[in-house]
Amino acid sequence: LKYFELLGLAFKINKMNYDPPKTVTLSAILPNPSILLMGAGPVPISEEVKKASGIVFSHLGSTMQTIIKNLQTMARYVFQTNSTRILAVAGPASASMEMAMSSLVWPGRKVLVVNLGTFSQRFKDMTEGLGGSVTEVKPLGINFVTEAQVKSILEKESFDVLTIVHGETSCGIQNMELSKITKLAKSYGLKVVVDVVVTVSCMPVLMDEWGIDIMFTGGQKGISAIAGISLIAFSESVFEFIQNRKELFPHWCLDIRRAWKFWGLGEYHYTAPVPGILALYEGLRLICEETLEVRFERHLKSSLFLQDEIEKMGLSFYAPRYCRLNSVVAINTPQGVDTKALIAHMIKFSSVEISGAFGLSIFRIGQMGEQCREENVQRTLAALKLALEVNFFNL
C-alpha cells in the first residue's frame, strides 16, 4: 500500500459482508485410486483426450478455423455422411436433441415417437414442450418396435417428424429395424431424427444410406471424450428446410441458424467451449486412425466376451439375444441381491463403477470406446464376481 500512497493514490477496500469459506482441495475429495467408469456413460478417456481438454485458446481466429474444418471432416466419416452441416453443441447429448427438436417442432406439428424407454421418452417431453403433438409407438413386450408397427400407423395418419433411439440405454435394447423404419418414414415424407448416442462409433450407423435427417451423440459415450459437449449432423435437405422456416425459434443458443454462423462462417455466436471441442477432436481423430471397421470388431468382440463371462456366472440378460444392445449390456439383478449394494461394493472394493437403472431390476455395463479394452473388461468381471460372492455369503 505504501507505494500507492507515495503516488498519492488512496485505495480503500470495503470489508466484505461474508468471510471466505474454508476450502477443500480436489485431491481431498476425489477417489484415490480413481474409479474405472464401466457404466452407461461417462466412459474412460484416452491420454490424448485428457491432454486436449486442458487447453484453452481463442474460439475465433485461424487456429479454431482449422480445428473446426478437420473436426467436421472426421465427424462426417464417423457419421457416414456427405453432409457438410455438422457441428458440436456446448451441452450434453440432450442439448443436441433439443436443437434437433426445436428446429422441426412448433405448435401444430405432429411427431411419431418410437418409444423404447427413458431416452425415447425425452423426445416426447421435448415435443410437448414445443407445442407439438405426440403419437407413441411402443414395442410388444421386451422387444424393439418393428417396421410393420410403424407402417400400420403411417398408413392411417400423416406426421411431420419421426423420432427413434438406435440403442435404448435405459433397458439395453437395440432397435434392430432402425434402418427399415427410417427409410420408411422418409418415403412418407417425414423428417427423421435419430438418437445414436450409444451406437455411433460402436457399431455401424449409416446416416445417408439410412435416410436420417438429423442425428446426434454426446461426447462422453462412444466417442470417449468428455461430457458437456455433443455432436450433431443435419442432412443438407433438412438444413435448407429449417433455414426457410417461418416460425420463430424458441431458443437462442440452440438455434441451428445462429450456431451455423460459428460452425459455417467462423463468426461469433456464443463463446465456444474450446477444451470440449478439442476433446471431441481427439476422440474423433483416434476413431479415424483406428478405422470404423476395426473399431466395430473390437466393440463386438469385447461385448460378446463380456456377455459370455456373465452367462458363465449364472446371470441372465434383460433383453433376449436378438435385440440385445451390445454397447450397454443390461443384466438382471439376481434374486435376493440389492442392485445399489452391488454397485456400491464394486466401487468400494474394486474401484469399478457400473450403472443401476431407472426402475427396472437390472444393472448395466457399458461397452463404448475405451470401455472395450480387455483389462477394463477383466477388471469389471472380477469386481462383479467379488461383489456377488459377498452378497451370496450374506444371504
Given candidates 46, 92, 110, 146, which one binds ligand PLP under the rule CB under 6 A? 92
Is residue 172 within 8 A of residue 317, CB to CB? The reply is: yes
| Number of chain positions touching ligand PLP (CB under 6 A) | 12
In angstroms, what is the minimal distance from the CB of 95 to ligand PLP?
7
Report in angstroms how near the CB of residue 127 gets to ligand PLP at its nearest.
15
3-state secondary structure 354-383: CECCCCCCEEEEECCHHHCCHHHHHHHHHH
Told to check if 72 binds ligand PLP by CB under 6 A, we report no
198 is a site residue for ligand PLP (CB under 6 A): yes
**Which of residues 132 and 228 has its CB atom nearest to ligand PLP in the complex?**
228
What is the residue type of 98? Answer: E
> How near is the Cβ of 169 to ligand PLP at its closest, in Å?
3
Amino acid (1-letter code) at residue 58: S
Tell me the longest C-alpha to C-alpha distance in the chain: 87
Please say which residue, 226 or 310, places its beta carbon nearer to ligand PLP.
Answer: 226
* Angstrom distance (rounded) from CA 328 to CA 338: 20
Task: Enumerate residues 206-225 that contact ligand PLP by CB under 6 A.
Answer: 218
The three-state DSSP-derived secondary structure of 74-85 is HHHHHHCCCCCC
Within positions 128 to 187, which residues make up the interface with ligand PLP, using CB under 6 A?
165, 167, 169
Q: Residue number with the shortest CB distance to ligand PLP?
A: 92
Is 119 a residue that touches ligand PLP (CB under 6 A)?
Answer: yes
Rounded Cα–Cα distance for residues 106 and 249 (Å)? 9
Q: Angle between the 62-79 and 274-290 helix axes, to the nearest 10 degrees?
A: 40
Q: Pick from 93, 272, 331, 360 the residue near ligand PLP by CB under 6 A.
A: 93
Q: How far is the CB of 28 from ligand PLP (least distance, A)?
A: 28
Does residue number 362 form part of the binding site for ligand PLP (CB under 6 A)? no
Q: Which of 39, 41, 139, 283 binds ligand PLP (CB under 6 A)?
A: 41
Listed residue (138, 139, 133) closest to 107, CA to CA: 133
Whose cell is 445462429? That residue is: 258
End-to-end CA gap in the chain: 70
Distance CA 208, CA 76 (A): 10
Rank residues 136 and 236 by Cβ distance to ligand PLP and give the closer one: 136
Q: Is 29 exposed, middle or buried (0-12, 13-18, 19+ CB in 10 A)?
A: exposed
Task: Identify the three-state secondary structure at position 111.
Answer: strand
192, 197, 229, 286: which one binds ligand PLP (CB under 6 A): 197
The helix/strand/coil state of 103 is helix
Q: Which is nearer to ligand PLP, 147 or 195 (CB)?
A: 195
Provide the grid cell at 392: 451370496
Least CB distance to ligand PLP at residue 391 (A): 27
Cell of 62: 485461424
Q: How far apart are CA 104 and CA 296, in angstroms?
A: 32
Least separation in angstroms between residue 165's CB and ligand PLP is: 5
Rounded to a whole number of angstroms, the minimum distance from the CB of residue 273 to ligand PLP is: 14
Q: Using the rule CB under 6 A, give the single segment among 50-58, 89-97, 133-141, 341-349 that binds ligand PLP.
A: 89-97
Q: Which of residues 124 and 345 has its CB atom nearest to ligand PLP in the complex?
A: 124
- The least CB distance from residue 11 to ligand PLP, in Å, is 47
195 is a contact residue toward ligand PLP (CB under 6 A): yes
Cell representation of residue 36: 474405472
In terms of CB distance, is 185 or 229 closer to ligand PLP? 229
Q: Which stretch binds ligand PLP (CB under 6 A): 69-77, 176-184, 195-203, 382-390?
A: 195-203
Q: Name, in order, each residue with C-beta under 8 angstroms of 394's C-beta and a sequence gap of 6 or more.
A: none
Residue ranges binding ligand PLP (CB under 6 A): 41, 92-94, 119, 165, 167, 169, 195, 197-198, 218
